Amino acid sequence: MIPVHAPKSKKDVPIVTWTLTALFILIYLWDRQWKILGQPMVFSDLALRPQEVMHVFTGGDKFPIVTLFTSMFLHGNLLHIAGNLLFLFVFGPSIEAAFGSVRYTLYFLVWGVAAAIAQIAVAPNSLTPVIGASGAISGILGAYLILLPTSRIDLWIFFFDVELPAWVFLGAWFLFQIFVPQNGIANWEHAGGFLAGMLTVLLKGGKSHVMAGREQEFA
């Protein structure tokens, strides 16, 4: 299922979502010396490796802590970044409008770090690089589930256009991360980011407090 459209605020311009998109594309190309299909070369040391992060707490090099942040701005290939940008474009603007651009930026980073910590907790001895914005974007999805659960999401399923409530699509997406692990995919990072996004909304007072009667703006 590929999401192609979700309701967005009619009043707010998603400046941060656009900025993140431009930044991800810039870093992707820079990492490949401006070759779209090239191999990552420049920023390989900034990828997250769980075992290296764990060694920080036993007296090892402290630098790997930085990769909790830097890894979320790196992507493995064109399909990887394209998929992340699609979800960011579909769901990001609504969450940016709901929280405001400044808080949305902060929460995006927090969700990315929370997602990385979840992946480390599940596989602390792994040296497989963990990269991508999908953990932070999963936080957006978790927040969307709480804030706009009945919004209608347009999807492509085997070239057919289908419309589903957000809670159905996002709930299925989350369960897929838990019960259908995939080689080369940091499923627990996705799940951790998703739960962090949900928790953020709940800690902010829930849907009624964050949206404060603004649901009509999202159509």
134 by DSSP, 3-state: which?
helix
pLDDT higher than 90, residue 170: yes
Residue among 65, 88, 69 at smallest CA distance from 14: 88
How many domains does the chain divide into?
1
Q: Which amino acid is it at 140? A: I
The pLDDT score that the predictor gives to residue 160 is: 86
22-47 pLDDT, tens digit per residue, is 999 999 999 999 999 888 888 989 99
pLDDT higher than 70, residue 219: no
C-beta neighbour count of 209 within 10 angstroms = 10
65-118 pLDDT, tens digit per residue, is 999 999 999 999 999 999 999 999 999 999 999 999 999 999 999 999 999 999
The pLDDT score that the predictor gives to residue 26 is: 97
What DSSP element (H or E) covers 114? helix 101-122
Round to whole Å and give the CA distance between 143 and 139: 6
Q: What is the mean predicted confidence (pLDDT) over 178-193?
A: 90
Mean per-residue pLDDT of the chain: 93
* Host domain of residue 96: 2-217
Among 53-62, 145-154, 163-172, which is the least confidently predicted range? 53-62
Task: State the CATH number of the domain containing residue 173.
Answer: 1.20.1540.10
